[in-house]
Amino acid sequence: MISAEDLIALVRNYNPKTNAERIARAYEFGMQMHEGQFRHSGEPYFSHPVAVAAILTEQRLDDATIITALLHDTIEDTKANYGKVSELFGDEVAKLVDGVTKLTNLQLSSRETKQAENFRKLFMAMSKDLRVILVKLADRLHNMRTIKAMRPEKQVQKARETMDIYAPLAGRMGMQWMREELEDLAFRVLNPEGRQSIIRRFITLQRETGDVIHRITGDMRHELEKAGIEAEVFGRAKKPYSIWRKMQEKDQGFSRLSDIYGFRIITGSEEDCYRTLGAIHQRWRAVPGRFKDYISQPKSNGYRSIHTTVSGRDGKRVEVQIRTRQMHDVAETGVAAHWSYRDGVRSENPFAVDPAKWISNLTEQFDSEEDHEDFLEAVKLEMYSDQVFCFTPKGDVVKLPRGATPIDFAYAIHTRIGHACVGAKVDGIRVPLWTRLKNGQSVDIIPADGQMPQVSWLEIAVTGKARTAIRRALREVDRERFIKLGRELARAGFENVGRKATDKALDTAAKHLRLKDRDELLARLGSAELTAHELVEAVYPELTKDDGDAISPRRAVIGLEPGQKFDRAPCCQPLPGERIVGITYRGKGVVVHAIDCDRLSEYEDEPERWVDLHWHSGTHPAVYGATLDMTIGNDAGVLGRICTLIGEKKANISNLEFVDRKPDFYRLMINVELRDLEQLHSLMLMLEAESDVAAVERYRESARTAAKVG
């Protein structure tokens, strides 16, 4: 553990005017509060806050942030409280420590709804003072560096949370070095064999080719000297996880992967950046499609740099990043550059993003989300996405995540433009709405009066803003129809347990499910965002419990190895009572197929993956889904009667989708939850006898259909 004097010396390196006495007091107070506490490794607990503070000195942060790091666990884990911290170190530090404490208590890897609520709280805390998340990220980094002292299951949980949340968040804030280290530390826990494999291949490559980095760095320095450009050149091999991800994305082996080396050139001016680019391209052949100019079009977190990939020695591709010293400072610390000190004063970096503006842009669209899952989806889309820059016909820049389409572009301009979109031109050529946009393209949206969003747009759009606007518009258009359908489903669901779907029962369910009112509940039920089972369970949980004698779904299949998990194949949806076979998947357990499933032909040449299985012979609960493909008459009350008939057979309707609408008939897919094959046959027999049912059959995905969908 470093001493108070050593920590103060680290701060003095970039801030000679630091209040050393205040930092020393915070060090002493933190040590007293944590006295007698130890980490899993056996070290004194206070060594952790000190290490977090040391990490933050690398980003040249202000005294308040360093003191917050020293005290960040005092309110949560010691007898200290907000008032005491405020009295000794001021209200600013107390608020920061309290903010970090609240973030620590958030369970960001919990159930979806709760996770979404906690993401809201995370962004709210960030919006008040972004330094809170800087301390939290440094806290997570040190915990990941020392994770081996934790229990194995805790290591996996923390590593997955780091990979899913904290690493992308660090990247979104422009702190790329921290993102890479967090990812690699998590990768070490989640896939140690994969990481070791990458490292072994690197060692073999270096043995075969020698020090490639040293040679290419020397070549670049020589070219820059010839061009009269003063610059620093650095080279490095990319992190194991970065290489692993590229191998997965490109479906290539290590030997075929090209850009596993990265080089960085730091120049004295923006003009020299472009001169350097010219010198590099003159000496080495540029790889088409791998050039990005983030100087003229900066990222939203302030990142500026020129990226290019060239064919270097022996035809090996190398990535080159070119930037000035000020751009480099922002690239290293991202949004944190706003608080950076140099020589005792705030570093006035013209490229540092105003944190208030940055967090406002990031959270603006999330505030309008009414639905927890919609909010969570929007947050993750924005956090995990890289960006492309496109232009309006007037030359305005629109920033979008990679993979965005003209639909996303239209909604980025204005919701009204998105709703009215009927087509688009990209660089003057008419293109389909599902076209993926690329950097630098000019996009012209073609609107039309009376146009409304289509359901298919949800499959096309990738931005949270577009998907939310589309969902909201679709809800409004179909609201009355969904409410009517939802009422029929609710009636059938309640009758299934011997109750009536009264207004009072529906109001109670809406309140329990935290929905605005009864109509909102019915609309969601009719649009399949809510199931009848969930509705009834909200009011009568005791009536929806499985029979005590029923076989648990976890042990419904016989023939598995102890502890081995299974899933039912979605293509054939096997039910108890059918002959079944299992196909093993590495890391996923066993997938159970019906013996006559078309998809089994794909595994004929892999007999070692087949497992002989059969269903338990006892009574099963009605939790196994099957899909019915039905054609019914388009008359008043028909759908209601169908729902009632299904309910009478003690089957729950979990989803309902109209596939085709004709003036006289509807074709629809109904997902029902059943006990077994016998209940399915009984249900279908009864539906076939209904005069308003023109056709009914069990829907199963054929191999050809699956290939088409995939």
- Could you read off the pLDDT of 384-403 as tens digits, one per residue? 455 677 888 887 778 787 78
Question: Between residues 261 and 282, which one has the greater pLDDT?
Answer: 282
Q: Binning pLDDT at 50, 70 and 90, where does residue 358 land?
A: low
Q: Which range has the worst mean pLDDT, 176-180, 301-305, 469-473, 547-551?
A: 547-551
pLDDT of residue 142: 93
pLDDT of residue 259: 60
pLDDT of residue 194: 82
Pairing of strands 317-324, 261-267: parallel
pLDDT of residue 703: 45
User: What value does the mean pLDDT take over residues 63-89?
Assistant: 89
Q: Binning pLDDT at 50, 70 and 90, where does residue 411 land?
A: very high
Closest CA to 367 of 89, 46, 123, 53: 123
Considering the segment(s) 193-346 as one domain, its CATH architecture is 2-Layer Sandwich (3.30)
- Cα–Cα distance, 46 to 24 (Å, whole number): 14
% of the chain beyond a pLDDT of 70: 83
User: What value does the mean pLDDT take over residues 223-232?
Assistant: 93
Question: Between residues 351 and 395, which one has the greater pLDDT?
Answer: 395
Residue 382 pLDDT greater than 70, yes or no: no
pLDDT of residue 355: 54
Question: Between residues 10 and 123, which one has the greater pLDDT?
Answer: 10
265: left (phi over 0), alpha (psi -120 to 50) or beta: beta
Question: CB of 158 within 8 A of CB of 190?
Answer: no
pLDDT of residue 652: 84
Question: CB of 267 within 8 A of CB of 231?
Answer: yes
- Could you read off the pLDDT of 15-58 as tens digits, one per residue? 888 899 999 999 999 999 999 998 888 899 999 999 999 999 98
- Cα–Cα distance, 197 to 274 (Å, whole number): 38
Q: Binning pLDDT at 50, 70 and 90, where does residue 706 land?
A: very low
Domain locations along the chain: 4-190, 193-346, 553-615
Residue 230 pLDDT greater than 90, yes or no: yes
Please give the C-alpha separations between residue 361 and each of 214, 366, 507, in angstroms, as whole numbers. Answer: 42, 10, 37
Please state at what angle helix 518-526 crosses helix 532-539, rounded to 10 degrees: 150
User: What value does the mean pLDDT take over residues 658-680?
Assistant: 86
Question: Between residues 661 and 631, which one has the greater pLDDT?
Answer: 631
Question: Between residues 295 and 370, which one has the greater pLDDT?
Answer: 295
Q: Following DSSP, what letter does each residue of 167-230 receive, concatenated?
A: HHHHHHTT-HHHHHHHHHHHHHHH-HHHHHHHHHHHHHHHHHH--HHHHHHHHHHHHHHHTT--
pLDDT of residue 419: 92
User: What value does the mean pLDDT take over residues 541-563?
Assistant: 73
Rg, the chain, Cα only = 30
Question: CB of 513 within 8 A of CB of 538?
Answer: yes
| 3-class secondary structure, 655 | strand
Across 27-36, 69-78, 293-302, 513-522, the highest mean pLDDT is recorded for: 27-36
Q: Is residue 320 classed exposed, middle or buried when 0-12, 13-18 and 19+ CB atoms within 10 A define those classes?
A: buried
Query: Position of tokens 């996770």?
Result: 115
Task: State the virtual CA torsion across 258, 261, 267, 272 in degrees, nearest 10.
Answer: -10
User: What value does the mean pLDDT take over residues 309-338?
Assistant: 78
Mean pLDDT of all residues belonging to the chain = 81
Q: Which range has the worst mean pLDDT, 291-300, 333-342, 463-472?
A: 333-342
User: What value does the mean pLDDT take over residues 182-194?
Assistant: 89
The total number of residues written for the chain in this structure: 710
So which residues are the catalytic ones?
A: 76-77
Q: Following DSSP, what letter does each residue of 575-588 receive, concatenated?
A: -TTS-EEEEEETTT
pTM: 0.53
Give a three-class secondary structure readout of 292-313: EECCCCCCCCCCCCEEEEEECH
HSE-up (13 A, CA, CB side) for residue 247:
16
Q: Which range has the worst mean pLDDT, 261-265, 327-331, 612-616?
A: 327-331
Residue 221 pLDDT greater than 90, yes or no: yes
User: What value does the mean pLDDT take over residues 64-70?
Assistant: 93
Q: Binning pLDDT at 50, 70 and 90, where does residue 704 land?
A: very low
User: What value does the mean pLDDT take over residues 572-578?
Assistant: 92
User: What value does the mean pLDDT take over residues 544-554?
Assistant: 66
User: What value does the mean pLDDT take over residues 498-513?
Assistant: 86
- Could you read off the pLDDT of 433-479 as tens digits, one per residue? 989 988 778 899 999 888 888 888 888 888 878 888 888 888 777 77
pLDDT of residue 346: 59
Q: Which range has the worst mean pLDDT, 10-14, 116-120, 523-527, 569-573?
A: 116-120
**The amino acid at 469:** A
pLDDT of residue 306: 94
Q: Which range has the worst mean pLDDT, 121-135, 352-366, 382-396, 606-620?
A: 352-366
Across 228-242, 373-387, 488-502, 538-552, the highest mean pLDDT is recorded for: 228-242
Query: Position of tokens 């309902």?
Result: 656
User: What value does the mean pLDDT take over residues 58-81?
Assistant: 88
Residue 380 pLDDT greater than 60, yes or no: no
- Cα–Cα distance, 234 to 318 (Å, whole number): 12
Considering the segment(s) 4-190 as one domain, its CATH architecture is Orthogonal Bundle (1.10)
Residue 115 pLDDT greater than 60, yes or no: no
pLDDT of residue 530: 80
Pairing of strands 589-594, 566-568: parallel
